[in-house]
Every structure is written in C-alpha cells, then in structure tokens.
Structure 1
C-alpha cells in the first residue's frame, strides 16, 4: 500500500532537495505545501501519512502548524526538517508532537537511517508497484529562492551559537532577498519604527570564487542594556564596553553564518578584518555611507530578535553585481 508524503517548506530548493533524498524504492506518493496553512488544508482534505515540516515559513510557521494538528484524528506523523538547530527549537517541536528533528540540508543516508529507526520506511517496492512518485517538481530554481534557502540554513547555525552564548531563544524570520539600488537599502531594512532611533554597525568583507560579499550587522542602540544584562555585566555601559559588545555579537553571528554559507556553496572565502561603520547614528546616515561604493546590489536581510528581551539586530549581506552570475551557477549545483 502506497504511503502519502507531504513536504511542507516555503523554499523550492528545500522541497527539491528533500524530495530527491527520499528512498527511491519507497512505494510512496509525494505532494508539496509552501506554508503551514496550505499543509493543514491538504491534511483536512486528503490522506497524509507522513509530513516533513520546515519551521521558518510565512502565513503559518512550523510551530503554528504543529499546534494546528493538535487533536486531529487524521494527523500525520511529523518529522521536522529545519535550519533552526537551537536546542530549545528542537525541544519545542518535540513537545508539540514532532516525532524527530533533522538538520537542513539532510542527506539521503541520514534520512534513510532516520526513517528506518522510526519504522516509517518499510513499504519497499514490489511487483505491481511503481516506486517513489515525486509529483510535480518542475519549479525552476531562481537566484533569489536558492539564496533565500542557503541563507535560511546559515541563519539557523548562527542563531544556535548566539542562543548558546546567551542561554536564550532566538526568534528567526524568513530571510528577505532583493535586488535593489543602494538608495533603496534604507527602505529595505525591516526595522519597522526603529528607523528613527539610533544604531551602531560593524562591516566585514568576504571574497571567493568570483563572489564578493559585504556583511553589515546593524545593532539597535536600545538593545545594549539587555545584552549587557544577559552577559552579566553590571557596571555602567560606556563607549568601550559598547564597542566590545558590538564586535562580540558581530563575531558570533557573522562568523558561523559565513562558515555555513561557505560549506553549502562549497567555496572558501577570504575575509577582511571587521570594522565599525558607525556608532549611535541613524539608519539613513549609516546607509548613506554605502552609496558611494555600490550602485546596485543583491541584498539578503535577516532580523534576529531575542525572545523576551529588547534585543534586535539586522544582518545584511550585500553582493556586488559581478557576483550574481557565479552565485547563480553555484546554487544550481545544489539540486543537480
């Protein structure tokens, strides 16, 4: 008897990677959902035996989707597949009923071992069966969708390091990817109301395989008191301490992020030393500094927030125009 599988992930790259990692000799049919609400609608209208569920999605995220399955008689077995590898994230999905948690991107060997250990993969093909039916996988991978997914994985790795350092839970968004004029950067920053406040920023450059990236970590000045509290700093926060905090957070977020990005793209980046771009200035003045060096850029923006604390920072990756072609080529290898 065929198994009905649902892959729920907002990324076309992630859906393709996971579908192609499934055992080829499994008597199973695969369907897809781009967010949690679509997944719940499919489950309500048809039979789903197993769902592979992402966490960071629009409309309904993975946590909300698991909550929506509570009490459903026809709820499928759920295996979470996510780039958010914070220990608290793993515990929360387990408490909500997920059977297991796999780290993105998952290999076919790890997936097979997990399915076998959970006694899920047991219906191999036999006479009269057609094996794995992947359904419609004709979506074309675009530069922005591919970059969004590798940024999502990298974001999760960096958040896990920061969460361990501060013993907190980091709230993660869906990364925003846009090709825009540098003059539009201020509008692209999703500070939503914080743009009138002051911020501080650290910049660092990375180059490799024809790709040039500038990272820009923008830290809201209103975050300094809570950050110092989490780190056990009781003394007055002076200019020197603010600078140390800024550089420490930049190192914790940018370093693991770029390491994960490098690993996924299979390239090595050389890097410049991090430098403070500005302290206690407005976002519009900060962005103005970049207008002279860039005209158009591919920008990836991630807003990190610490749950239950007034701590927020914006990680922005700026790719030069010359980086787009080699980046698109490297991303295409991820689904070959």
Structure 2
C-alpha cells in the first residue's frame, strides 16, 4: 500500500507539473468507465466545471485500452460491469503498472467492497448516485482539486446524448441493488457479489421466457412473492432461491436446528425482508416514492411456472432482474420485480425529472 500511495503522489505531481507548466493549461484526460449510459452522463455533468477532456468506456476492457492510449490520467471506475469488472480493471492496472489515478464510483456500499478496491490501489471510493457537489468534495478529499482547473463551460462529445428510460431504470436499480446487498452482507457477515442489473420493457410472452430461464438456471428450490404499491405505481417482487441456498444460509445464520419447512420459511422471510424492503426503499428514495408492501407469500419448495392465463395481465411491463451471490458459499437468489402496465407512465413521468 505504501508503494501505491507513493506512486499516486508522484503521478498527481506529474499531472500538475505537466498541465501547469504550459502557458495555457491543457485539459486533463479523464476517463469514465461504467456500463450505464445514464451513470456516465451523470458523471459528465458533475465534471462540467473542470477543465478536462472526457472519454467514456462501457466496460473494463475498453477502459484499459483508453488508459494505454493516454486518455485516462484520472479514471472514474464502476465495479459491476460486463466483460471486465472494476476489480479486474484495478488488478490489471497494478500488474501492468499503468499510469492512471483511479476513483471508484459504485452503488455497492459494502464496507468490504471499499476495502478491496483501496487494497488494489484505488485513490478513493464514491457512492452512487453522484452530483457536482459530491464530486467536488471528493476531489478535495483526495487531493485532486488543486490539480484540476475550473472552467465555466465544458464542451464534451455526446454531452447532449439522452439516456434511454431503460438505461435510467438500470442505473436506478444499480444503486438500489447496492443498498440491499450491503444489508444482506451485514445480516450474514459475508461479501455479496453484485451483478449488472437488467431492466427492460417486456410482454407476457417475454416474462414467461424469463421465468422459465430462471427456473432452469437456478434449479429453484423456493420462491417468495410480495406485492408492493405506491402512488400510481404497483407491482410484484419475486425472490427465487437456488436449491442449495437454504442449507448454507442456515449454516451462516448459526442454526444447528433441523432444517424443517418452518425453519426454511422463517429464513426465506428474513432474507426477503432485507432484500425486497431495502431495494424498494432505495428505489423509492431516488424517484421520491414511498412503497407499501403486502404480506409475502411463499409459493412452495419447488417453483412452478405460472399458467399462461396468469401471465396475460402482464401485457406490457417493466421488469428489473437482479441476481445476488454470496462469495465462498453456495448461496444465490434472484430478485425479479414486475411493474404493472398501468405503472409505466407514472414511472416514466418521474424518471424524466432525473
């Protein structure tokens, strides 16, 4: 860590010397790496007061190529991404001795996530969602504010690009997922691996295919369903557990009792209360909605796909899919939220304000 800190200080000094030595300071190359177009756009706006040139990358491999090309003297790095995630990017930056300062920007608020990225050489960690003030304070804390010059207006390629609503819902879900994952981590005393959430508008046929895919992939042993409702918005949350998860969860929770059906139900309700409540609470906070939740219903020890008639009411709906995995244990579950067709217009109206 001492060598990494020494290297960071030297590189910050080099950035300062390089840009302040010229008669007219050149903008500092900044790289934003996030699979969410909406999150990248938020960061571009937060950087608008600084004299920087911005390059965007949608995954870790693309970011590494940009760093090698000299486009990322300062890298703002997400953690949960396809192809190469943030941890893998940090590992390669260190092993290949690439010259860049890395600030992680993530919705994963687990304390162990912060510890891991700092151990891998990150300069700092900022929780999503981000805005200009949060970024300004962070740059000051990390000693970068003096290295970056202010400017009144920023010209950035793709600055006017509008994120799609599905991209927006994915990023809102990313932040909500991080909050729920952190609470699950506290409950079980483990590190929770967070995926890239999936948000899309689906038809009834799409939902049937998705549920069947989850059934095959997870070898489902138990499913819990819980309705939720807010102003003009309602839906159902499905929590689907892998068949081996219950045994390992009982062990993690320190239960030496026989894993009876009653005990399984109790554990399912405990985990569901953490994941669904935390997720909906954080999602609601971002779009200014207080969700009320119905009584959870355990659908059974073996999951059966709903009949086609039961799916026809979901003619067109927003679905958000999040998978949680417990590192070092055979525990996994999928959280699937289905928003009713009547909710989509109200959701879109609130989302447009963002």
TM-score normalised by L of structure 1: 0.91
Name the structure 2 match of 1:176.
Answer: 198
Q: In the alignment, which of 243, 254, 259 is matched to residue 232 of structure 1? A: 254
| Equivalence map 1:257-336=2 (5 Å) | 257-276=279-298, 278-284=299-305, 286=306, 290-291=310-311, 293-334=313-354
What is the CA-CA distance between 1:215 and the residue it aligns to?
0.9
Name the structure 1 match of 2:178.
Answer: 156
The answer to whether the Cα contact below 8 Å between 1:12 and 1:139 also exists between their aligned partners in 2 is no
What is the CA-CA distance between 1:72 and the residue it aligns to?
4.0
The answer to whether the Cα contact below 8 Å between 1:298 and 1:320 also exists between their aligned partners in 2 is yes
Name the structure 1 match of 2:270.
Answer: 248
Name the structure 2 match of 1:30.
Answer: 54
Cα distance change of structure 1 residues 73 and 294 upon mapping to structure 2, 3 Å threshold = closer
Structure 2 CA distance for aligned equivalents of residues 10 and 44 of structure 1: 19
SS across alignment from 1:75:
coil
Structure 2 CA distance for aligned equivalents of residues 43 and 32 of structure 1: 11
Higher mean alpha-carbon deviation, 225-234 vs 61-70, is at: 61-70
Cα distance change of structure 1 residues 123 and 90 upon mapping to structure 2, 3 Å threshold = closer
The answer to whether the Cα contact below 8 Å between 2:246 and 2:264 also exists between their aligned partners in 1 is yes
Structure 2 CA distance for aligned equivalents of residues 289 and 227 of structure 1: 34
Higher mean alpha-carbon deviation, 48-57 vs 135-144, is at: 135-144
Cα distance change of structure 1 residues 221 and 293 upon mapping to structure 2, 3 Å threshold = farther
SS across alignment from 1:10:
coil
Query: Residue by residue, what CA displacement relative to the aligned partner does 1:1-60 show, whole Å, maximum 9, x if unpaired?
Result: 321111111111111112212261x22111211111111111112342101000011111
Moved over 6 A (4+): none
SS across alignment from 2:72:
coil
- Structure with larger RCO (C-alpha < 8 A, sep 6+): 1
SS across alignment from 2:126:
strand
What is the CA-CA distance between 1:310 and the residue it aligns to?
1.0
SS across alignment from 2:302:
strand
The answer to whether the Cα contact below 8 Å between 2:208 and 2:311 also exists between their aligned partners in 1 is no
Name the structure 1 match of 2:82.
Answer: 58
1:70 aligns with 2:91: no
| Equivalence map 1:33-48=2 (5 Å) | 33-48=57-72
Query: Residue by residue, what CA displacement relative to the aligned partner does 1:78-136 show, whole Å, maximum 9, x if unpaired?
Result: 0000001111111111111111001000232221111012221225658xx77544332
Cα distance change of structure 1 residues 148 and 236 upon mapping to structure 2, 3 Å threshold = same
Name the structure 2 match of 1:87.
Answer: 111
SS across alignment from 1:70:
helix
| Equivalence map 1:201-212=2 (5 Å) | 201-212=223-234
Gaps of 5+ in 2: 1-24
Cα distance change of structure 1 residues 275 and 70 upon mapping to structure 2, 3 Å threshold = same
SS across alignment from 2:109:
coil
Cα distance change of structure 1 residues 134 and 249 upon mapping to structure 2, 3 Å threshold = same
Cα distance change of structure 1 residues 204 and 187 upon mapping to structure 2, 3 Å threshold = same
Query: Residue by residue, what CA displacement relative to the aligned partner does 1:256-295 show, whole Å, maximum 9, x if unpaired?
Result: 111100111112223322222x1112342x5768426433
Gaps of 5+ in 1: none
Structure 1 CA distance for aligned equivalents of residues 113 and 318 of structure 2: 30
Structure 2 CA distance for aligned equivalents of residues 20 and 34 of structure 1: 17
The answer to whether the Cα contact below 8 Å between 1:83 and 1:157 also exists between their aligned partners in 2 is yes
Name the structure 1 match of 2:9.
Answer: none
Matched residues, number: 328
RMSD: 2.1
1:110 aligns with 2:130: no
